[in-house]
Structure 1
């Protein structure tokens, strides 16, 4: 693995007097990847620019400028056919963890997790691949390990209650550099920022009877367990619980979840309640950037609203203008979530022809960059079935943006939607790809019914 990372590092050194372009995916992992690579080049005083794209569709590649060196982070491996057409005579580096679809060519330095013997779904993210190149350029770049893990967690590579594979090595680097702490704790989102009852209310994967989506139920459970949820100083946060309180709470949550989860999935429940959490030690104790999970959500929200450069600057270290812009964008993000979930409340979901998937069409309500967020949140909605994949659709100008999501339980059971969505999209003349737990496609609007049928059938065949 490190051999190819060294080759990529050497290519960068050869172009240190040239202007380099970084092209990255517009999500948490992609923004983390770009920021990590950009920080690395800054430290070497190498001039560069950064561009974010949702996907390397043919028309997107046509708009990219030809540079003496282009570095693609967190994307590229699945679009080699499109890239070869334009970049075959130029030096490019791809640092990616998605499954490659074709062979490379002479001027491509292809640093891909799967080609290096690692599972890009479980063991390392795009930011992790960029980190390995950064460390080859300078071993002192170990302090960037925390940012690499923000990318990995943004791609749900902690779905097992811990990070796996090379992510563990990266976490160790972060600990050694003094920028990261990892410990076993309750896997509650908002450990550093939210009241205990709110963090519990948002625990919907797996669904917890009497807890998920109900503040009253959370408060009642805490009272029954004799766990105070507020003091004279205000509401307590999950990080303020004692070890004894955490043990009592974990036991209750696991017991409740197991009684309502299909028997074949019960073995996964404890790992979704208790696991490794990652704290960024250089961030303020009550900051939304203190926990790696919240950090990834923050920068992902900027991408969802087509402002990835705000997330990029925050990931680069800005805690002033861009950080405040991100917080303002988060407020808007929450309003959009409320509108999206109100739509689900009022309209519900439709089932695929075979009843294996559920979907919604929010073309008049959501931006296409936001449909994946609502699809993710709908997994925990009372009108959805957490044991069926969810597909969100937004139509615009004759084309349809499609996002598919599934619960962690389905993912841990072995469901891989990425392969199915890619094949289904290609069958109807579109393009698709992504991750096992979160993926997307673009197809012609009139092909949506056929796509839904193809996607559902391929998932059934793979089950």
Structure 2
């Protein structure tokens, strides 16, 4: 990936400048797993460079958000996991600053300005939405400035997994993300193998592992332990050994193959498309030094933890975990996961129960509306709903599913997911945002918008 390596070198003068001047830096990052991982990695580096910084987490670089940022206090500004789609807005507020954008979303066209350095692999012809994450780009920058950090390698991988970039064979990471995995394997901190992809498979009981799995979502079993027990008994796998519930780690190779095969059959028979069902078996990534009982052992579970903490505004806990702290922070994780799952389950139940009652249809799109101001939940909810409803809409005109949450100022935050791979969602949203006057963009498979209620009907007429 020579193009990316050349691109990464463009960031070096920025850090040489702040290291030389000891100039304070404003760091602005997204709050999901990739954004939190990127922020942790860059914070680690700035601390070692003895450069003071302020870290702010935001939804997106919308004008209202940019207006509230303390640009006047800083000469240097870094944007992580956002910014490429809104460079002109950033320029309005920071044209006289030295700005570094590290992003992997589809970039908007812009005239740019002399003080801007943009690290986005799309600019060198690489599909950044599948081959890279902002955290893998951030790690690669840090490794060029300070050398490889063993402790940060798994953080970069967790960020990539949090963005669902396991798009390779058997749901493996690819491109720059895979390069970092390989480096982690050589250094002995990351383990990779193909097996069942159940949530918490290293430490949970078989029943808990199936019931806790949301990616892929298993209709009737995810979130339903009693149904999981009946399912296991029906396929000849005993969920208990004597008086104790069996751990998932106790499954024999024969039982793993049987369970994977039967889960795939079950999901397909319940309307899940074949590709989504097959996600139950594939590559797993583990943090070798972490105890098996830790929620950070499985790097997909680690990513889930980061996403939960970010969406509950527990940024400090997420950063502490990424920087190697455990103890009381692990205790907070268990509490946060319970709360996050409760919020997701409540909204999912409402969508499943009310269905068309809370939906609005467009040309190729259906949007389900939440009745609470929960904009940070629209992303994970849209991923789950898109997976669960993809078969339902397979023969229809629907190619895009959205989840909308009301926000302040009579606006809606909408997260979209495609269910037809011919759709380039990020480009569609960028084009329509310019045409209709809202904020929107993203990746080919996933995107988002902040839109005024008054033009929502116009969007539905177009999308």
In the superposition, the TM-score normalised over structure 2's length comes to 0.87
Task: In structure 2, list runs of 5 or more residues that go unmatched.
Answer: none
Q: CA deviation at 1:351?
A: 5.0
The separation in 2 between residues aligned to 1:369 and 1:425, in whole angstroms, is 21
> Equivalents in 2 of 1:162, 1:386: separation in Å?
27
Alignment pair present for 1:144 and 2:145: no
| Matches of 1:237 and 1:108, distance apart in 2 | 52
Distance (Å, rounded) in 1 between the aligned partners of 2:289 and 2:51? 26
Segment of structure 1 superposing worse, 145-154 or 60-69: 60-69
Secondary structure in 1 aligned to 2:29?
A: strand
- After superposition, the CA RMSD in angstroms is 2.8
Structure 2 partner of 1:276: 283
Partner residue of 1:461? none
Aligned to 1:416: 424
Matches within 5 A, 1:434-449: 434-449=442-457
* 1:319 paired to 2:326: yes
Unaligned runs of 5+ in 1: 456-463
Aligned positions of 1:139-288 closer than 5 A: 139-160=147-168, 161-201=171-211, 211=221, 214-232=224-242, 234-258=244-268, 266=274, 268=275, 271-288=278-295
1:216/1:397 Cα in 2 relative to 1: closer, same or farther (>3 Å)?
closer
**CA distance change for structure 1 residues 146 and 426 in 2, over 3 Å: closer, same or farther?**
same
Does structure 2 retain, via aligned residues, the 8 Å contact 1:73–1:94? yes
How far, CA to CA, are the matches of 1:383 and 1:138 in structure 2?
A: 45
Provide the C-alpha distance between the structure 1 equivalents of 2:312 and 2:220, rounded to a whole number of angstroms: 33
Is the CA contact 1:159–1:272 (under 8 Å) kept in the aligned structure 2? no
Question: Structure 1 233/73 Cα, relative in aligned 2: closer, same or farther at 3 Å?
Answer: farther
The equivalences for 1:419-430 within 5 A come to: 419-430=427-438
Of 24, 47, 52, the match for 1:42: 47
SS at match of 1:290: coil
Equivalent residue, structure 2, for 1:401: 412
Equivalent of 2:134 in 110, 126, 137: 126
1:260, CA displacement in angstroms?
6.0
CA distance change for structure 1 residues 52 and 206 in 2, over 3 Å: closer, same or farther? Answer: closer
Once the two structures are TM-superposed, the CA of residue 438 in structure 1 deviates from its matched residue by 3.2
Q: Give the number of aligned pairs.
A: 448
Determine the structure 1 residue equivalent to 2:8: 5
Q: 2:60 is matched with which residue?
A: 55
Q: Distance in 2 between matches of 1:397 and 1:87?
A: 25
Residues 250-275 of structure 1: CA distance to partner in whole angstroms, max 9, x if unpaired? 2223344455669xx64x35742321
Shift in Å at residue 167 of structure 1? 1.2
The separation in 2 between residues aligned to 1:46 and 1:219, in whole angstroms, is 54
TM-score, structure 1 normalization = 0.87
Of 20, 24, 33, 2:25 maps to 20
Deviates further, 14-23 or 188-197: 188-197
Rounded Cα–Cα distance in structure 2 between residues aligned with 1:168 and 1:13: 28
